[in-house]
Amino acid sequence: MRVDLHTHTSASDGALSPVALCERAQARGVELLAITDHDTCAGYREAVAALPAALRLLPAAEFSCQWRNMGVHVVGLGIDVDHAAARDAFETLQQAREQRAVVIGDRLARLGMPGAHAGASALAGDSQVGRPHFARFLVEQGYVGSENGAFERWLGSGKPGDVKALWPTLEQVVAWIVAAGGVAVLAHPLKYKLTATRLRLLAGEFAALGGGALEVVAGRQLPDATAHLARVAAQFQLEASVGSDFHAPGQYWSDVGDFAPLPPQCEPVWRRWVA
């Protein structure tokens, strides 16, 4: 079964509308899809109302949190988006996102780039405002030549625009997901650029808090990386998830549904949702 359990739409920082994403997934042979927009289920709600018949859609989202002063993403799969815990989570996270955008704007202003909060918010429109909107604003204002460059200079890990302090803790986010009936998945574990030892520390704490799975295949990655993540999952008895982290057509890392299969020893997290 072809699955993709990590994708973004225009409800957060993805380029495609929820319906267009579903159509692209279906055209690419995906049978089970999760729309995992940052801190919102609005894209899921929109898509589920107009779903192509051959596609199953899991209610889901990608939750922002902090762990040891680092920004970490947890995908919540199979959550009841109307559960009080889910509503509480989205409200808290969306407020944190708004407050963070103000802080990012202040910091950029102090660096000589005024108006970024208003600019990024305008670019986001009804979507969740995020660092990619700040990156687009900085490019449009001519401060930097590319969005990637904006992350490298101001927005990426350890830069002034990398503000994590407003996010809830990993513990809180896992608790919300579990309370809402979902499975918490530690997203793109290699993106945090941790040493192997610290990655095990994170995975172990995540599992102890009630986390259920590790994203063993996160887009296109080297076979060695997949094998490493499969071992980490096994060590902490975490199930395995897969996803492209698709944001836009033409992105270099992976299209919808386009990644290597799970190693056979992994327990697929989606088994519970397919008969």
4 vs 13, which CB is nearer to Zn ion? 13
Pick one of 4, 13, 215, 255: the residue that binds ligand AMP (CB under 6 A).
Answer: 13
Pick one of 95, 146, 148, 235: the residue that binds ligand AMP (CB under 6 A).
Answer: 148
Q: Does 247 bind ligand AMP (CB under 6 A)?
A: yes
How many angstroms separate the CA atoms of 92 and 89, rounded?
Answer: 5
Question: Residue 264 Cβ, how far from Zn ion at the closest point, in Å?
Answer: 30
Kind and range of the H or E run holding 240: strand 239-243
185 vs 232, which CB is nearer to Zn ion? 185
Spatial neighbors of 230 by CB under 8 A, at least 6 apart, are: 216, 240, 262, 263, 265, 266
Q: x/- binding map, residues 77-116, to Zn ion, per CB under 5 A?
A: ----------------------------------------
37 vs 46, which CB is nearer to Zn ion? 37
Question: Residue 263 Cβ, how far from ligand AMP at the closest point, in Å?
Answer: 25
Spatial neighbors of 165 by CB under 8 A, at least 6 apart, are: 66
Per DSSP, the residues of 156-181 read: STTSTT---TTSPBHHHHHHHHHHTT
Q: x/- binding map, residues 12-51, to Zn ion, per CB under 5 A?
A: -x--------------------------------------
Cα 61 to chain center, whole Å? 7
Half-sphere exposure of 131 (CA within 13 A, CB side): 20
Pick one of 151, 176, 206, 246: the residue that binds ligand AMP (CB under 6 A).
Answer: 151
Exposure string for 239-254, b = 16+ CB within 10 A, e = fewer: bbbbbbbbbeeeeeeb
Pick one of 41, 131, 186, 203: the residue that binds ligand AMP (CB under 6 A).
Answer: 131
Give the other-Cβ count within 10 Å of 197's Cβ. Answer: 8
Site of interaction with ligand AMP (CB under 6 A): 13, 38, 64, 130-132, 147-148, 151, 156, 247
